[in-house]
Chains A and B, each alone.
Chain A
């Protein structure tokens, strides 16, 4: 039982990270009906920027652990958000009127470009986060010993998801995003600046993805320039699982996929861990392409 709960909480932590990335996919999909293949790479940029800022500014030494990581996270989120906006401007806006599939090719190109830029800057080897930033405490929760980092990651991701949910549901800007997702032309007629909504989506999604990247760096300690596409594929699976275009769906799908994967790795085989997620992806597209709570996907007219 102990083992099961360890895996379950681990799955929730990883799932929270997937969910944060999945939100970026699903928001962009909601508004533009485009799979932003470069999103996974923005996540990687979050991890690398986090590492660079952490080691160069020594925030945790100056401000203490809690404030240091918070400031770091905000900086990373801001920078990755700007990157996301630049990506939209450079790779997607010129293709707004083109067929959607040329935008898909452009997205793939952007992904390859971002990834290899990172490789040329940092080199192809794994980069390691410094070990002593976080107190290696374990918390005792109902007799279960959990690493502090794991608990923090679950809390932080849930917090961000709730914040995003409230932002989308309760604010006027959130309503504009929802309107643009339902019908762009109608939204435009209602006086919503759809271009700004798209820009906003490309700020918020990458910001969350960047935060997820930082979390992976802090949680696993090791990052690599190609990790974005594996995480991206899994987050995309999570988005599909929950129903793409659907914000609560991405959260549910992310957490669910994280748990499935952690339990699968523990009880089936660790070597097949990545394959489990891809099998989930294929199965869900075959059996229920709408996802658990989402839009129609299969092209049947």
Chain B
């Protein structure tokens, strides 16, 4: 344990990142913004998948819920986009609770399949213009620019500070959460569900709570996405988004916040660096996923204390 080094490292990283827009061009800043959004989403998924060990591959559905809530409220009722932030989180969170309630007890790989199904149903519903408010395959456009204390956030650099500010806040909150009673309960749940239940942890409650919380975060990330793009359509929330997020968490090291950040940089940033090989991006990731599971199942930057144990713990819980 070298906590002092951790803080120095994190401080240096934050300072470097905060200064980045000063010497990067608009395109590079925009890439950093994408990385920030993915990091935000992956941090939320990390709670569900990494901390609690629940296989969720429909995270894009909650992201979409948030983005569409923000877009509809903004374009129909002229509510300033940033004000919709808590509401988007709430809608996505409640939706997740409703969806997860009947299926959250399912065994790992079945939960994975169900969440894929939920993600697809949401996407199909958006494409089919459900309730006549989602704009069908074209989506919703004309979302207004966010305003903060009278300052209109428009340029990539402005969004950079908005998004990464939110990421920093998220990291702070999730670190606190990780060290709380709630976080320990989740880890216990992940390592050995039966023992957790036996020690008086209400597993159903914690599973649902973490599902709702992770989804709420995805919903808020959706608002930021809608504000950044000013136009959203169902194709931004496809199954592959969920796969990419899943990959970020597994690759970085499930349950590890620095790991998730690192993987977000690698998975979103690297294809931008090697643009000429952009077509092979998913191919490489697929291969990496296969190789990682053999060579380094705990991820690139695993969380301290459970080097890959979470998988075996979960396996024990499912009885193999």
For residue A109, which residue of chain B has the nearest CB? Answer: B289
| A233 partner residues in chain B, CB cutoff 8 A | 113, 116-117, 120
Instruction: Kindly report which residue of chain B lies nearest to residue A279, judged by CB atoms.
Output: B121
Residues of A within 8 A of B114 (CB): 281-282, 285
Within 8 A of B (CB), among A241-288: 269, 271-272, 274-275, 278-279, 281-282, 285-286
Q: Is the interface of B mostly helix, strand, loop or mixed?
A: helix
Closest-by-CB residue of B relative to A283 is B102
Question: CB < 8 Å: which of A35, A278, A300, A301 contacts B109?
Answer: A35
**Interface-side segment among B16-24, B80-88, B213-221, B311-319:** B311-319
Other-chain contact of A112, B127, B285, B293, B318 (Cβ < 8 Å): B285
Q: Does the CB pair B120–A278 fall under 8 Å?
A: yes
C-beta contact mask, B287-315 vs A, less than 8 Å → 1, else 0?
11110111001000000000000011011
- Complex Cα distance, B293 from A119, in Å, reads 24
Given contacts A112-B243, A282-B117, contact A98 B297 (CB under 8 A): yes
B121 close to A102 (CB less than 8 A): no
Majority DSSP secondary structure for residues of A touching B: helix
Closest to A103 in B: B293
A residues in contact with B125, CB < 8 Å: 275
Q: Does B290 lie within 8 Å of A91, measured CB to CB?
A: yes
B118 within 8 A of A: yes
Residues of A within 8 A of B103 (CB): 282, 285-286
Complex interface: chain B residues within 8 A of A109 (CB)? 285-290, 292-293
Q: Which of B2-10, B170-178, B227-235, B275-283 has 4 or more CB atoms under 8 Å from chain A?
A: B275-283
- Residues on B with C-beta less than 8 A from A116 are 280, 282-283, 286
A117-162 residues at the B interface, CB under 8 angstroms? 117, 119-120
Question: Hey, which chain A residues are within 8 Å of B112, CB to CB?
Answer: 35, 104
Q: How large is the interface on A (under 10, 10 to 19, 20 to 34, 35 or more residues)?
A: 35 or more
- The residue on A at minimum CB distance from B279 is A120
Question: Is A102 a contact partner of B194 (Cβ separation < 8 A)?
Answer: no
Q: Are B279 and A119 in contact (CB under 8 A)?
A: yes
- Bound form: Cα–Cα A96–B289 in Å: 16
Is A94 on the interface with B (CB-CB < 8 A)?
Answer: yes
Q: Separation in Å of the B254 CB from the closest CB of chain A?
A: 10
- B158 CB to nearest chain A CB (Å): 35
On whether A229 and B239 interact (CB within 8 A), knowing A101-B311, A271-B128, A299-B317, the answer reads yes
Answer whether residue B55 sits at the interface, using C-beta atoms and an 8 A cutoff: yes
Give Cα A279–Cα B99 distance, bound, in whole angstroms: 12
**CB of A40 to closest CB in B, whole Å:** 12
A86 to chain B, nearest CB (A): 12
**C-alpha spacing A108/B288, complex, angstroms:** 11
Q: Tell me which residues from 155 to 185 in chain B have a Cβ below 8 Å from any Cβ of chain A.
A: none
- Quick check: A101 and B113 within 8 Å, CB to CB? no
Question: Does A113 count as interface, using CB distance less than 8 angstroms?
Answer: yes
Distance from B243 Cβ to chain A, minimum over Cβ atoms (Å) = 7
Measured CA separation A278–B193 after assembly (Å): 28
- Is A53 located at the chain interface by the 8 A CB criterion? no
Identify the B interface with A (CB < 8 A).
55, 102-103, 105-110, 112-114, 116-118, 120-121, 124-125, 127-128, 193-194, 239, 243, 246, 250, 279-280, 282-283, 285-290, 292-294, 297, 311-312, 314-315, 317-320
5 CB contacts below 8 A, A to B, read A105-B250, A111-B286, A285-B103, A286-B103, A301-B319
